[in-house]
Structure 1
Amino acid sequence: MKTTLAADVNAPSEARAFVATLLGTSHLPAGVLVERVVLIASELVTNAVQAGATTVEIGVTITAQRLDLVVIDDAGGWPTPTSATPDDTAGRGLSIVDHLVDTWDVASRKHGKAITASWFDQSDQRADGGVLAE
């Protein structure tokens, strides 16, 4: 499922509402937390707006084993994680993304880019982070 938003000050909250509503009625892979996906959608859309996008498309694909959140924007530039200091008021978004998703990547498009954040089924993981023996 996907939606397209105008890249304005309302886009992050509209993205949160879209993702929260969609995930609230979906069966998610084990261990995937709605709150994390909603937060990452908001962070990526905020970055797109701040980068000068005019439109932002959000897509969510869910299978039993994986959830992919794709944010496509038409802004220039490339997302690059930075190291924010405690006094910085910005610059933490991609660090948050990196910390809360299983994997993420960026693909160039004719006009802009597509960022895919993915979460995987965690049902075969032990509490200590190891993989259960089969």
Structure 2
Amino acid sequence: MSPATAVAPAATKALPQTARVFDVAFASNPACARQARRIIRAFLGLWNVNGELAENIVLAVSELVTNAFEHGTGDVGLRVRYPDDELRIEVTDDNPTPAEMRPAGDEDVSGRGLFIVAVLARKWGVSKDGKTTWCVFHVPAKRS
């Protein structure tokens, strides 16, 4: 069985053609962050989100999925919604302990993921049940 199970874009689920949303579930393993980066890059390309913004979104996805893998339990879910000028990323695992930003020392080799997400994203947070960490990016309208 493949470690990632992708779900088709929501437009194929009888939503309006303009719907830009996808869900993917990963079996909890070290490869899930790399797979998530590859998937989000592909969708961002389809949605014409490019450049530094796209790289920041890919980095945020990578950090959130890595956190879910390292600190969560069970499968890792990734949902991305881009209905208008905001792109929302949600990463879910089965651990009810909410993700929290912690200070990392100069010599620490990890522990900066949520800080990076907080710096790059417009806003971020954790669901009330603690199982979903999310962030939002503003995507400016393309000018002709």
Provide TM-score, normalisation by structure 2.
Answer: 0.75
Instruction: Please state which structure has a larger fraction of its residues in helix.
Output: 2
Deviations 1:21-58 (A, max 9, x none): 11111044x99711111111110111111114220111
Gaps of 5+ in 1: 124-134
Q: How many pairs were matched up?
A: 120
Gaps of 5+ in 2: 1-21
Alpha-carbon distance between aligned partners in 2 of 1:102 and 1:43, rounded to the nearest angstrom = 16
Matches within 5 A, 1:3-42: 3-28=24-49, 33-42=53-62
State the Cα distance separating 1:75 from its structure 2 match: 2.2
Answer whether contact 1:32 1:120 (CA < 8 A) is retained. no
Match for 1:10: what amino acid? A
The sequence identity of aligned pairs, in percent, is 31
- The equivalent residue for 2:66 is 46
- The equivalent residue for 2:135 is 117
Larger RCO: 1 or 2 (CA < 8 Å, sep 6+) = 1
Alpha-carbon distance between aligned partners in 2 of 1:73 and 1:105, rounded to the nearest angstrom = 15
Deviations 1:73-123 (A, max 9, x none): 1124221111111111111111101100000111034xx511121012446
- The equivalent residue for 1:60 is 80
Alpha-carbon distance between aligned partners in 1 of 2:83 and 2:52, rounded to the nearest angstrom = 12
CA RMSD of aligned residues (A): 2.0
Match for 1:67: what amino acid? L
Match for 2:28: what amino acid? A
Answer whether contact 2:78 2:91 (CA < 8 A) is retained. yes
SS at match of 2:118: helix
Alpha-carbon distance between aligned partners in 1 of 2:35 and 2:134, rounded to the nearest angstrom = 19
Segments of 4+ moved more than 4 angstroms: none
Instruction: Please state which structure has a larger fraction of its residues in strand.
Output: 1
Answer whether contact 2:72 2:93 (CA < 8 A) is retained. no
SS at match of 1:37: helix
Choose which of 45, 65, 70 in structure 1 pairs with 2:90.
70
